[in-house]
Each structure stands twice: as structure tokens, then as C-alpha cells.
Amino acid sequence: MATQVVMPKLSPTMEEGQLSRWLKKEGDKVSMGEPLAEIDTDKATMEMQALSNGVLRKILINEGESAPLGQPIAIIGEADEDISELLKHAQAAKPEKSAAAPARLPSDTAPAVEVHTSKDQREQTKSPISTVSEDGRKTEETAAGGRVLISPIAARMAADAGISLSALRGSGPSGRIVKRDVEEAIGSKAKPAALRAVTSTRGAARQAVYEPSAYRDEPLSEMRRTIARRLVTSLGPVPHFFLTTEIDMERAADLRRSLNEIDPELKVSINDVIIKVVAAALIQHPQVNASFRDKTLRYYEHADIGVAVATENGLITPIIRSADLKSLSDIAIEARELATRARARKLKPEEYTGATFSVSNLGMFGIDEFTAVINPPEGAILAIGAMAPKPVARDNQLVIRQTMRVTMSCDHRVVDGAVGAQFLQTFKKILENPLYLFV
């Protein structure tokens, strides 16, 4: 019996998914439990498994398109089975597009990006570009019309390589520029031509310096959409207040250096030391290791520390579970492994949801001090600035010490000012005297 494949809920915060890649094509046999497609959720790329046996009869959304939870995205049935009724139901269940929304093109990668060019840039190319009008009819228009169809990854590659879009001819559907077109342009044979095209545009670019800049629109990734939604529900509804302190990091730096000299493979970072110290301070101040619920405050027995990791799609916070019970070496190994998988979008939902407290470190970018936005329902987050040498007064003498500024963002519904200050006081005391960790 034919069945619909619907967009599954692959993470606790997922509201819709983007079809990253079909692992099967129409006409392929599929078995229950076999990977059917890769789905980009709000945090990771995950495999969707087939829930029935049969043949993949119909794919209902293309790679790169998004669908809300529960929307039919494919049909599995027997090879000779009539699926016309299921197709009608699937079409009826599909959300209607806005009349102003451009029609999507079939693709083997991602939705096309319209690149709008300035007047002088448009005049530099007259080659026809295939596109699709809003009523779905295929038309031909020249680059003078100001629209170029290009996939997001091809657009990024072209921008990074400094290749003018006018030097490219699309080989994708409807004349769309795809990844292989850019790869050919930056290859050994195409590179001289591409460079000549770039050079030829410099004079026109100088003349167009006062014209509106060219731009391109790229569809939001599921991660970026979720970040936008969560920020709206955090900074506004959550009553933030901020506490800042400066910490002498000389002894913490000495501890890290000594540990890495004993075991060079360990590669303990200052951030690993901070995570361990945060966990120890949270156990001493359970009022901070808490989250706000509608009618209750939830206090946690262990410190599950979310560690902010920047990826090309946005910020994600893999979690060091029970960091209060783990050694510095365990934390260093786990943090490094989680960060690697976070950047590869290979984290499982339970590895990035449910932290009790978060740490965001921008010190490696030379940022001295900043404030971080709380990730609800957590009660607080700690923003870590750069560790740098600074002249400070010690025993009535001016000396150079490694210092670091940290700012704690608190949810006032969970953490009072005095409680937050006491937590920071303990955090500072342990970090300035890290032997407390071993007592």
C-alpha cells in the first residue's frame, strides 16, 4: 500500500526542515529503516529513514526546498500502484506560496539566488539567461535585465574567487550558474579568461562608484531562522541585567601551560579551564544553575555547560554534561570533539539542547568585552573576553599581568543581583587560584 513520507521532527526545536540531499531517486527500491534523505534542521544535518518498504514513486520537494513538519515530501509504494489520490492529497496539504514569491527551480543543490547588478555591470554582458516567470513559464532574458540565476554555493565560490558573474555561463536548469561552472572558471584553463573578465570590469567599477551596490539574496538556513526566532523570544521577554568583572589570569595560564607540558597531546585551552571553573562555581551557587519555567524555577543537580561554537551557518552550543564531575583533560577532549562535529553539522539533538548554563568566548577574536544574549530557558550566560597583558597595581607596585574581563548576563526572574555577584566572586576566586579545583 502506498504511503506518504512527511517532513519528520528531527530535533526538539525544529519547526520545518530543508531537504539537503535525496539519497534515493524516483524508481529506487527502499527498505524500512534505510536512509532516504538528508535534512537540514535548525542545528544539524540529519538522515531521514524510510518507514516502509517499496519503491520511491514520487519526490514532492526538491533539494534545497523547505517544508513544515508533517508536510508530505515523497510517496513510497509498489512499482505499479496507482498513487494519483495520494498526489492530490499531497498537493492539497502543501502550503500556498505568496503571489509575490518567485517560482522555485528544480535543482540538484539549493534554491537559485537572484543576483541583482548595477547598471554598468549589466551592460557588460548580453548573453541570454534562462529564467522562470512567476506563472511558471520558461522565458529568455539577457543580463541587461539585471537578473542572474545562481545557486547559493556557486555565488559564494564566485565571490571568494573574485570572479565576475558576467564571465560565467550557467549549465544548470534554466541557465542557472551552478558549482561546476564556477569550478571550471577557477580551473587552470578557465582562470586566465576569468582574470581578464575581472580586469575588464575595473574601469566600469570605478565609474559606478556612486551607483547602488550590486547585491544577492540568499534563502535563510534553518539554523539562521531558528536563531532569529529565539533571539526575539529572549532579549525582549527575558529581563536581562549584566555584571562585569576583571580577572587576573596569570595562575590559570600557568596551570594550562604546565598541563600541556606534561601531556602535549592533551592541548588544554583556557576555555577548557573556564568551563571547569564555571561548573565548580555553579555547584557552590545552585541558584544560578537554574532555569525559568512558567510556574516554577528548576534547579539542577549537575552543571551541563553549553559552549558556544561559531559555524558557517550560525551559532550552536554543544553541551559538556556534568562538567562538575569531569576532569580538565576529559573536558578538553570532549569540547574539542563536540566543536568539530558541530562545525560539520553532525551533532545529535541531545548534544545541543538542555544546557543549564552557557559560556560564549570571543577572546580568540581579540574582543576585550561584550554582553551575550541568554538562551532560554537558561538563567544566565557568561561572555568571555580576550586574555591580554595589562599594567595593574600589586602591593603598591605597577606590574604587568595577564587579565581577562567577563560579563555575566542574568535573567532577573531567576537570578537576583546579589546572587549573580556572589557567583562571579566565586568564579573569579577559583580562576585566580585554580588549585581550588584540586582540593
User: Is the distance from CB of 150 to CB of 169 less than 8 angstroms?
Assistant: no
**Cβ 282 vs Cβ 419: under 8 Å:** no
CA pair distance 152, 107, nearest whole angstrom: 12
List all residues 6 or more positions away from 222 whose beta carbon is below 8 Å from its beta carbon.
14, 16, 17, 18, 40, 41, 42, 66
Under the phi-then-psi rule, with left for phi > 0, alpha for psi from -120 to 50, and beta for the rest, what region is 366?
Answer: left
Q: CA–CA separation, 56 vs 76, rounded Å?
A: 5
What are the catalytic residues? 412
Give the contacts of 408 (CB within 8 A, at least 6 positions apart): 242, 243, 244, 380, 381, 382, 383, 420, 423, 424
- Burial of 182 by CB count in 10 Å (0-12 exposed, 13-18 middle, 19+ buried)? buried
From the list 46, 92, 47, 51, the residue with the least C-alpha distance to 71 is: 92
SS3 for 153? helix
End-to-end CA distance of the chain: 66
β-strands 357-361, 16-22 pairing: unpaired
